[in-house]
């Protein structure tokens, strides 16, 4: 972009050819600056000034002086554009394509274009597969997915994403394979966008534990926890084609199973407590595997190492001969968890998670522990 410059020409006859060369050079240079500004804008939202002469200025508007000048920053430099030269000003997103998965496929194959796009699909948002305009099946800020049209001829075609007045082209073309007579379904690796990209966020989960005592050192009746509820949040980071790292925390609220404690002590002694609930927090991290079942549902399993915080309540042991108080304890056990379930393309999950900890709670020489399983309903956030 060029600011207004003033040239003093002493003799038009002697310098006309020189002036023409200067103007040609200025036009070429301005075009290069415009192209550079457009390239630097890939994957971001910028102000676009459409000028009456057909050129555009892309950058960030710093100031508008009504009826006079628009001050805009372009590639770190400040430019001044007169209002009389402006046809329109708009705020536009410049899409960017980083990858296309897969890079070949038959008609009907689901294809994912990764990159940076507007969060909401524009009214004219589409994918151009060669000269064929395709309506996307899914549009997200980091991925756009579409299917190869059934009537596409075999061959190599460019891939372009259109978003408003702007568009982005993939660096490598897409190869359309000849359609076979036998139906061929997209492989799991081709269904990468609508399932795996959901792993790049977080999932808020509501936990519900089955009623009854949970596992313990000596049989199910030796535990000290009953059914309860909880909630948690899990972030998932994709690291490979079918693998991700789950990192999360669970806050649980369980009932105190005095009946199981009485049974574990035996004899005439009884366990009493003013508290009917104890709380625990588990923090975990591990490795997960996702297997697409179809276009909308995915099976996942994961295993994690875990660290826990348990706040165990005060209890009193009474018998005919003595009364003993066991004060509240805070336990920090290590353990592990595993999870298995279904994930849908909108980020919703339905799964079962097992948390295995040993927050040993000693009563009359007996150490009790609590391992709990929970049914989890998760919502992508």
- The per-residue pLDDT string of the chain (381 residues; one tens digit each, 9 = 90 and over) reads 333 433 333 333 334 444 454 444 444 444 434 444 444 456 688 888 899 998 989 889 999 988 889 998 888 889 999 988 888 998 889 999 999 999 899 999 999 999 999 998 988 999 999 999 999 999 999 999 999 999 898 889 999 999 988 999 999 999 998 876 544 333 333 334 344 444 445 667 666 655 444 433 343 444 566 667 778 888 888 887 788 899 998 888 877 777 767 776 666 677 787 777 778 888 999 999 988 887 678 888 999 999 988 777 777 878 767 777 766 667 788 888 888 888 876 667 888 888 777 766 665 555 555 566 667 676 765
What are residue 202's DSSP bridge partners? 235
Q: What architecture (CATH level 2) is domain 12-92?
A: Roll (2.30)
> Span 195-380: which CATH code?
2.40.160.20
Question: Which CATH superfamily hosts domain 96-186?
Answer: Immunoglobulins (2.60.40.10)
Sequence spans of domains, the chain: 12-92, 96-186, 195-380
Structure tokens, 225 = 């926890």
Taking the complete model, does pTM exceed 0.85, yes or no?
no
Asked if 223 contacts 265 with a C-beta cutoff of 8 angstroms, the reply is no
Rounded to whole angstroms, the Cα distance separating 64 from 70 reads 5
């Amino acid at each position: 972009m060029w600011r207004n410059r003033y040239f003093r020409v002493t003799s038009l006859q002697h310098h006309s050819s020189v002036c023409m060369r200067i103007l040609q050079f200025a036009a070429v240079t301005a075009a290069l600056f415009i192209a550079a500004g457009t390239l630097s804008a890939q994957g971001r939202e910028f102000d676009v000034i459409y000028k009456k002469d057909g050129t555009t200025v892309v950058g960030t508007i710093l100031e508008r002086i009504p009826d006079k000048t628009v001050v805009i920053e372009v590639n770190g430099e400040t430019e001044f554009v007169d209002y009389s030269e402006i046809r329109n000003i708009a705020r536009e997103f410049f899409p960017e394509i980083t990858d296309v998965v897969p890079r070949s496929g038959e008609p009907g194959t689901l294809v994912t274009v990764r990159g940076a796009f507007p969060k909401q699909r524009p009214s004219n948002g589409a994918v151009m597969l060669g000269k064929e305009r395709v309506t996307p099946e899914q549009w997200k800020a980091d991925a756009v997915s579409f299917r190869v049209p059934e009537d596409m001829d075999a061959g190599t075609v460019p891939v372009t994403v259109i978003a408003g007045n702007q568009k982005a082209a993939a660096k490598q073309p897409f190869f359309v394979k000849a359609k076979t007579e036998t139906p061929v379904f997209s492989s799991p690796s081709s269904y990468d966008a609508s399932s795996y990209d959901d792993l790049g966020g977080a999932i808020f989960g509501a936990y519900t534990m089955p009623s009854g005592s949970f596992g313990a050192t000596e049989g199910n009746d030796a535990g000290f926890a009953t059914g309860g509820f909880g909630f948690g949040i899990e972030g998932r980071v994709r690291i490979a084609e079918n693998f991700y790292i789950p990192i999360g925390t669970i806050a649980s609220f369980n009932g105190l199973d005095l009946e199981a404690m009485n049974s574990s002590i035996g004899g005439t002694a009884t366990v009493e407590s003013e508290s009917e609930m104890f709380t625990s927090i588990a923090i975990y991290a591990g490795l997960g595997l996702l297997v697409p079942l179809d276009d909308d549902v995915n099976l996942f399993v994961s295993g994690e190492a875990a660290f826990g915080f348990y706040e165990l309540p005060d209890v009193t042991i009474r018998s005919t001969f003595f009364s003993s108080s066991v004060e509240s304890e805070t336990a920090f056990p290590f353990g592990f968890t595993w999870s298995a379930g279904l994930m849908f393309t909108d980020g919703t999950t339905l799964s079962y998670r097992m948390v295995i900890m040993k927050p040993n709670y000693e009563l009359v020489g007996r150490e009790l522990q609590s391992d709990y399983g929970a049914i989890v309903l998760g919502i992508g956030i």
